Structure 1
Amino acid sequence: MAPYETDDSAQAADEADDVRTGRHRAARYVVPVAVVGVAAATIGLVPALASSGDPDLPKVTAQQLIEKIAKSDVQQLSGTVKITTDLGLPDLGGLASGFASGAVKGDGGSSADPQSKLMELASGTHTLRVAADGPDKGKVSLLDNASEYSVIHNGKDVWGYDSKSNEVYHATAPESAGAKGKAPHDVPATPKDLADEALKSVDDTTSVTVDGTAQVAGRDAYKLVVKPRQSGSTVGAISIAVDAKTGLPLKFTLTPASGGAAVVDAGFTKVDFSRPAASTFAFTPPKGAKVTEGDDHESAGKTPRHQGPDKAFPKGDESLRKGDKDLAGLDGVKTIGKGWSTIAEFDTGGKGMPSGGAKGSSGNSDVDGFLNSLGDHVTGKFGSGTVFSTRLVNALITDDGKVYAGAVTKAALVKAADAAH
């Protein structure tokens, strides 16, 4: 089926302001996408959605479709989501999980803490079972061959349970956790979580069009496509399959500008909009399970996991409070540029990693060779450094300890470092 709109249509320019207005409505449902560790602007598209034929649906504009997402009021659902992530990193499998769990445990925590599971979603293919019943009941289960990990939000309680280790994590849900469609404890589990973040990035540097229809999980859907207009971005575009009846995003797929396989591909394979059984959200720690209280962990001086937005970002930096909040995790972080070409800049306060240049800078040829295998040595007005790359996000670490990172090309990072010199 031919696209309903193209980027160079006469209507596209007239809709630019309307799209930005719709973006603000959609932003009400934002959920952080910690799994990829970057701002939502780093998210892109796959060319086509798996379908069993293009359904014949009434024509809609991009603005109308964004508003449909923003107005979506799905309160109950259950289903299965398949998510594949390919950042071009080795498939760490259990190593990533073990590293995350060890880091949490070393801090006095639990392998059942949801934060310890995020790294597992950073590579490979995973199956999630999700359910929701209103703003105060939600469940996400990560299924493995011989085990299952679940996060359950039921009223004031948030539970995490790791059947493999028989550990339980318990915390009190923050008052703000009742956002519609939000996965419990900020676990980025559904296409909606990803789509809401992506729509937050729509501005005048972005093209938004409707590109036909598809069927996802047996549901008729429209395909919304978001592409950066700027050069220098590693992002290709965003494709979101939007349920024609409810407005709920059913599939979200991501590829880089360089093409190839999707970087993130998350979509429902099954979905049911009837109310799940109340027992779905009931949880009692199994006999013999180790239970860690999240509130006790925080009061002991550990990193808080339920910070409000005003506490999560450096004071006085209004540009970060209003804009690239996902880049504000480090004190002193600054942003260069805007839109899809935004680069985060911060100083580590010390020496950077040895660049492994032609002459070597570490004093150890083995170390230099190893670093060369991980990244590319670059030079410029800023001096020298190493660029470490994934299929989507690149980071330049200079020899004097400065870091420049974003969903931009290596050349864009070097240019930013030179300009800041």
Structure 2
Amino acid sequence: MAPNDSAETNGTAARRPAGRRRAARYIVPVAVAGVAAATIGLVPALASSGDPDLPKITAQELIEKIAASDTEQFSGTVKISTDLGIPSMGGLAGSFLSGAAGGGDGGKGGSSADPQSKLTELASGTHTLRVAADGPDRQRLSVLDQASEYSLIHNGDEVWAYDSGSNEVYHADGKGKAPHGKAPHGKAPHGKEQAAPEGVPTTPKALAEEALKAADGTTSVTVDGTARVAGRDAYRLVLKPEQKGSTVGSVTVAVDAENGVPLKFTLQPSSGGKAVVDAGFTSVDFGKPAASSFDFTPPKGAKVTEADDAEAKAKAHEKPRGDLGKLKDAEGVGAPTIIGKGWNSIAEFKTPGGAALPSKASKDVPAEAQQFLDALGDKVTGKFGSGTVFKTRLINALMTDDGRVYVGAVTKDALVAAANAG
């Protein structure tokens, strides 16, 4: 087993400030689950089968090894599991996840195969993924369920998504045309491009990069021995926030000793217990995948939805909404103010028109939805006045009664302190 070695981060390794890009993901308490989905991602890999003897390496050298990895071809299976501690309420939580992603519009121009809504399902439960990549222009991701399969394929200028359960296809093509006007593929596992929507990490590599961005002088980074993951020798890189008030206890990344590719990602909450995120390869091959892996032809009888048509139909069905609708649109009210730094970053913004959380009296929220909100929320008071903290095991949000929102991977006390200071 390689001896431990540590290095305090100083802002030089694989990051940029957690500024406007990350802040833009913070929506509102109703969409806390969606925020968490964009912040984290995947889960349980194979247990280690003995610790291999590997040459000594420092934490800084291992971070540099990840950053320098140029592996563009691979295929394999990933096990993912997330436990945010969100009550199911008969599947209502899943509906909030879908709504937060902008999909699932009740058939008004939408498609069950739309990746913006479909991939947010990875934010809860346990899933098995098949993944493959051949450079920046070809990737495939399949989510395997007991009775169905969902596939997302990027091949050149085209993106195809297929939901076998509903026999629906979603298609985007033409040099940048993609669902919801976004680029047809988000940041790839190895700094290239992939088929997943922006903000939805789908491999241990993507998750590790998100974690390393937070290692900006507020983090202890150590090499904590070695492991065997998916039959590969790996080093264990451990990141721990040095600041008090973060809901993140530690992040452990198993890094392939040969090529620097993260093979497994585990996020432990500061509150203890089961991992919030535990994602990793159960099998992996770094050879060139077969070209046929990225071919797709819509099955006979499948309903095909074009991205441009879906967007036009969705706009045609838009209509004024009540307070709950205004809250869901809150990310369009301008750039939030970022309070603090590193793991303790908190995004502050105001809801449209200073709207507060809908109450039972407003009759704007269905009874089940109100039950869901009540289950997540704790009433709090302070110098700022009063409000409600909506909590998960990772992301928490405070919404004040005068329409201010504070969101971050921090504790309830940290949110109240930020509101008091504001």
**Rounded Cα–Cα distance in structure 2 between residues aligned with 1:85 and 1:204:** 27
- Give yes or no for contact 1:45–1:255 (8 Å, CA) kept in 2: no
Measure how far apart 1:372 and its partner are: 5.3
Greater RCO between the two (CA within 8 Å, min separation 6)?
Answer: 2
- Give yes or no for contact 1:45–1:236 (8 Å, CA) kept in 2: no
TM-score (norm 2): 0.79
**Rounded Cα–Cα distance in structure 2 between residues aligned with 1:127 and 1:330:** 37
**Rounded Cα–Cα distance in structure 2 between residues aligned with 1:212 and 1:161:** 41
CA separation of 1:261 and 1:3: change in aligned 2, threshold 3 A: farther
SS state of the match for residue 22, structure 1?
Answer: coil
The answer for the alignment partner of 1:87 in structure 2 is 84
SS state of the match for residue 65, structure 2?
Answer: helix
CA separation of 1:44 and 1:117: change in aligned 2, threshold 3 A: closer
- Give yes or no for contact 2:37–2:120 (8 Å, CA) kept in 1: no
Q: Are residues 1:21 and 2:34 paired?
A: no
Measure how far apart 1:183 and its partner are: 3.3
**1:348-381 deviation per Cα after TM superposition (whole angstroms, max 9, x unaligned):** 123422789xxx999xxx99x9565442111111
The answer for the alignment partner of 2:127 in structure 1 is 126
Q: Are residues 1:378 and 2:380 paired?
A: yes
The answer for the alignment partner of 1:184 in structure 2 is 195
The answer for the alignment partner of 2:357 in structure 1 is 353
- Give yes or no for contact 1:111–1:167 (8 Å, CA) kept in 2: yes
**Rounded Cα–Cα distance in structure 2 between residues aligned with 1:264 and 1:45:** 6
Aligned ranges 1:102-181 → 2 under 5 Å = 103-172=104-173, 174=176, 177=185, 181=189
SS state of the match for residue 281, structure 2?
Answer: strand
RMSD, aligned CA: 3.6
After the TM superposition, which of the residue ranges 182-191 and 395-404 deviates more from structure 2? 182-191
SS state of the match for residue 345, structure 1?
Answer: strand
- Give yes or no for contact 2:161–2:170 (8 Å, CA) kept in 1: yes
- Give yes or no for contact 2:226–2:234 (8 Å, CA) kept in 1: yes
Amino acid at match of 1:335: I
- Give yes or no for contact 2:172–2:184 (8 Å, CA) kept in 1: no
Structure 1: 5+ residue stretches without partners = 7-11, 304-326
The answer for the alignment partner of 1:338 in structure 2 is 341
**1:143-174 deviation per Cα after TM superposition (whole angstroms, max 9, x unaligned):** 01110000001111100000111111111263
**Rounded Cα–Cα distance in structure 2 between residues aligned with 1:81 and 1:257:** 25
CA separation of 1:84 and 1:178: change in aligned 2, threshold 3 A: closer
SS state of the match for residue 56, structure 1?
Answer: coil
Amino acid at match of 2:400: T
Using the aligned pairs only, state the percent identity: 67
Measure how far apart 1:50 and its partner are: 2.4
The answer for the alignment partner of 2:320 in structure 1 is none
1:65 to 59, 62, 68: 62
The answer for the alignment partner of 2:53 in structure 1 is 56
The answer for the alignment partner of 2:264 in structure 1 is 251
Structure 2: 5+ residue stretches without partners = 27-31, 177-182, 317-329
Between Structure 1 and Structure 2, how many residues are aligned? 377
**Rounded Cα–Cα distance in structure 2 between residues aligned with 1:296 and 1:268:** 37
The answer for the alignment partner of 1:296 in structure 2 is 309
SS state of the match for residue 354, structure 2?
Answer: coil
Aligned ranges 1:258-269 → 2 under 5 Å = 258-269=271-282
SS state of the match for residue 119, structure 1?
Answer: helix
Measure how far apart 1:414 and its partner are: 0.8
